[in-house]
Amino acid sequence: MGFYHSRLKLLLLLLALPAAVSAYTPEADRAAAAALFDGALPAAPLFAGQTGDKTSADADFLRQMKEVLSSGAWDGPSPQLRPFMFKNAGEGWTAQAQSVGLEGFLWTRKELESKYGAAAFAGQTADYFNYLDALLKPVAWTADLRRALGDLRGSQLTDAEKNARLDLILENYVAGLQANVRRYDAAAWAKRARIYELFPRAYDLAGRREAAGFKAPADPGRTLFFRDFQVSDFDVIKRMGFDAVWPMGILPIGVRGQTGTGGGSPYSISDHSTVNPDLGTEEDFRGFVAKAHQAGLKVIVDFVVNHTSLDSRLLAENPDYFVSFRYDGPCPKDGYFDSYRNGAKYCVHNGGFEYDGGVSSWIDTAQINYADRGLRDRMTAIVKSWTTKFDVDGFRVDMAYLALNNVFARTWQKSMPREEFYRQLIRAVKAAKPSAAFMAEAYAYQEDLGACGFDTIYSKHEDARPEGQTGWYNTTEAGNAAQLAGAVNRAAFLAWQSGGAGAVLFIGNHDEPAPEKVYGRRLPAALALTLLYPGSVMIYSGAEIGYDGAVPAEHKPLPFSVPCEVNWSGGDPAVKRTYQEVLALAARLRAELGAYDIEPLWPGQGQGWTGYILRSKDKPGLRRAVIGNLTGGAVRAELPQAGFSGTLQSGEYRVLRLP
């Protein structure tokens, strides 16, 4: 039975019976389900083969709940079930569920029935039951639900009655499971994190203090970022509305093959296990983390999974940890460099990724070999040490999808271990610190990364779904109204669901051009629709004042290739006003609404605006709507439920009251 009381069995059986037999109303059904998940539940069950390790049992229980809600079961790198396809037989089209599990099935089913009516999908009832049974069968504690669904399937109700009853069962079951996931998932904070990314070597701490009216403390010695950053400096970030900080580029940078004059790429790492001494000592960094925690901020750090520098500690330790071969002759010129250990010469491939049928390489990096089990163990120990040594709260995994089995095997023609590296890594780190979160930089294979246990994933490029591009950054950048509606729907689902990885929305980071360059006059609407999102959002330091230090050869607002510092007294005053207005708006609405979900708004025919409803979870019935124009021209906007009718200029947004 697992986490279920005997009352749940009764509830499921009553829901499965014909309406004339059951005295339950939908409201009573929901209340009964809510009572099962009131925090007074038994502990997670022990599973076969376990001996009483509660931490391990809790982790397995959480994994199984997430499989039921989101990913389904996987066999190594292969999913055992694909998302359900809903068929509109009359119009001849299909729609894919937002995820494999119950959440994706339920969300998409309710969305489609709301738009087109349940009758449009008549004839699929048997498919629904077959699909749900296949999803639930691998998890023993779903037996009561499977039995209730089986009874409903075999009942004498009409298909329409069965479908209505099925909605009730799934709504109650999903709501209960979601509440239980929140109880067990200590890393769930990441799905609501508001992240401030900063680049320490370009941050100009003293300049920011002066610009903000702070007096810089006297420093008779060398300036060291981690030592000098104070609680008051974190408070500045906290007051802007952020609850997590990501100091990007804090690992030591390799010297061999270093590019540019700015100190090298912060992603050419010579030692994954410690901090760059130019920023402070390990003790200084421990103090930095402690001061962030004192200010109420989580700390996220980079894990550069795919590569190291040409002169890394890891390469010196064991060249077999890398895509390499021993050879006495000259190394191939295209994509390789030479490295020596114990008198033996190795040809080591530069770090790279699949591109246009081949491999594109970063010439200042060495490619790590995830086919090697010893390397996997070594990297797992290194990442885990960041939680035990420094008490960091999470990891932003650089180019995360490159280390997935199917991607790595295809790119480097390697035979891989059966299990994904990330399952080993995330399991080990969360065993040491259950609240540690993993955020993936990923532009493909989001489903695979979510199934591996990532808590959040960049929403930049996601076009592997039938509706086309739904990645937030690429969609808002393009400004296509039809794609934007799909992107809002995808983002809304990812904010509501609990079982899978959440989305991280942004309109800029250290890899992208300054937002005002990308969006131009559309910036206010893009920023408002991003920062009002209830899931995770991120901005890059300097963006809030419109600072852009890009150089001709590098579009980053804070280039890696040349020396650069944010001029906190400079920037663009108009951009600064936009950020101040939207950040203040976001703070007001969060205070007014408390926790909230969003509901997509679907513009009428010929209307090119984008928007969603903010629906308070803490204050039932309290709602606001935000609409904005992300296109290049003026658009007509009609929102009768808010009493709004008018024209939105490019970049204009409105927050509207709803009854």
> What pLDDT, in 10s, does the model give residues 410-432?
999 999 999 999 999 999 999 99
pLDDT band at 568 (very low <50, low <70, confident <90, very high): very high
Q: What is the pLDDT, as a whole number, of residue 213?
A: 67
Report the candidate in 6, 154, 71 with the shortest Cα–Cα distance to residue 422: 71
Q: What is the pLDDT, as a whole number, of residue 465?
A: 83
For 72-106, letters b (16+ CB in 10 Å) and e give bbbeebeeebebbebbbeeeeeebebbbbbbbbbb
Q: What is the pLDDT, as a whole number, of residue 55?
A: 76
Instruction: Give the C-alpha separation, 538 to 460, whole Å.
Output: 12
Instruction: Give the C-alpha separation, 536 to 544, whole Å.
Output: 18
Q: What is the pLDDT, as a whole number, of residue 22?
A: 42
Residue 385 · residue 430 · CB < 8 Å: no
pLDDT exceeds 80 at position 357: yes
Residue 196 · residue 541 · CB < 8 Å: yes
Q: What is the pLDDT, as a whole number, of residue 152?
A: 95
Q: How far is CA 158 from CA 22, 211, 219, 251, in A?
A: 16, 70, 79, 63
For the sheet containing 596-600, what is the strand order? Answer: 596-600, 610-616, 623-628, 653-657
Residues 6+ apart with CB under 8 A from 129: 149, 150, 152, 153
pLDDT exceeds 80 at position 129: yes
% of the chain with per-residue pLDDT over 90: 85
Span 197-217, mean pLDDT? 84
pLDDT band at 289 (very low <50, low <70, confident <90, very high): very high
**pTM to 2 decimals?**
0.92
- What letter represents residue 388's amino acid? T
Report the DSSP beta bridge partners of residue 396.
302, 439
Instruction: Give the C-alpha separation, 29 to 171, whole Å.
Output: 10
Q: Give phi and psi for 479, each to the nearest 5.
A: 75, 25
Report the candidate in 396, 398, 418 with the shortest Cα–Cα distance to residue 351: 398
Q: Give phi and psi for 571, each to the nearest 5.
A: 85, -160
> What pLDDT, in 10s, does the model give residues 439-494?
999 999 999 999 999 999 999 999 878 888 999 999 999 999 999 999 999 999 99
Span 571-594, mean pLDDT? 97
Residue 314 · residue 306 · CB < 8 Å: no
Instruction: Give the C-alpha separation, 593 to 589, whole Å.
Output: 6
Q: What is the pLDDT, as a whole number, of residue 105?
A: 98
pLDDT exceeds 60 at position 607: yes
Report the candidate in 95, 72, 93 with the shortest Cα–Cα distance to residue 85: 95
pLDDT band at 222 (very low <50, low <70, confident <90, very high): low
Q: What is the pLDDT, as a whole number, of residue 39?
A: 33
Q: What is the pLDDT, as a whole number, of residue 46?
A: 40
pLDDT band at 395 (very low <50, low <70, confident <90, very high): very high
Span 260-275, mean pLDDT? 97
Instruction: Give the C-alpha separation, 475 to 481, whole Å.
Output: 9
**Which part of the chain is CATH 3.20.20.80?**
188-306+372-593
Q: How far is CA 510 from CA 389, 421, 439, 538, 550, in A?
A: 27, 27, 15, 11, 11
pLDDT exceeds 50 at position 37: no
Q: Which two tokens stand for residue 174?
A: 């999903």
Mean pLDDT over the full length of the chain: 91
Instruction: Give the C-alpha separation, 44 to 420, whole Å.
Output: 25
Instruction: Give the C-alpha separation, 592 to 626, whole Å.
Output: 15
pLDDT exceeds 80 at position 378: yes
Per-residue H/E/C for 451-471: HHCCCEEECCCCCCECCECCC
Q: What is the pLDDT, as a whole number, of residue 333?
A: 87
Q: Give phi and psi for 386, each to the nearest 5.
A: -70, -30
Q: How far is CA 543 from the centre of its chain?
A: 21
Q: What is the pLDDT, as a whole number, of residue 640?
A: 96
Instruction: Give the C-alpha separation, 189 to 436, whole Å.
Output: 10
pLDDT exceeds 60 at position 3: no
Q: What is the pLDDT, as a whole number, of residue 123?
A: 87
Looking at domain 188-306+372-593, its CATH class is alpha beta
Span 235-261, mean pLDDT? 97
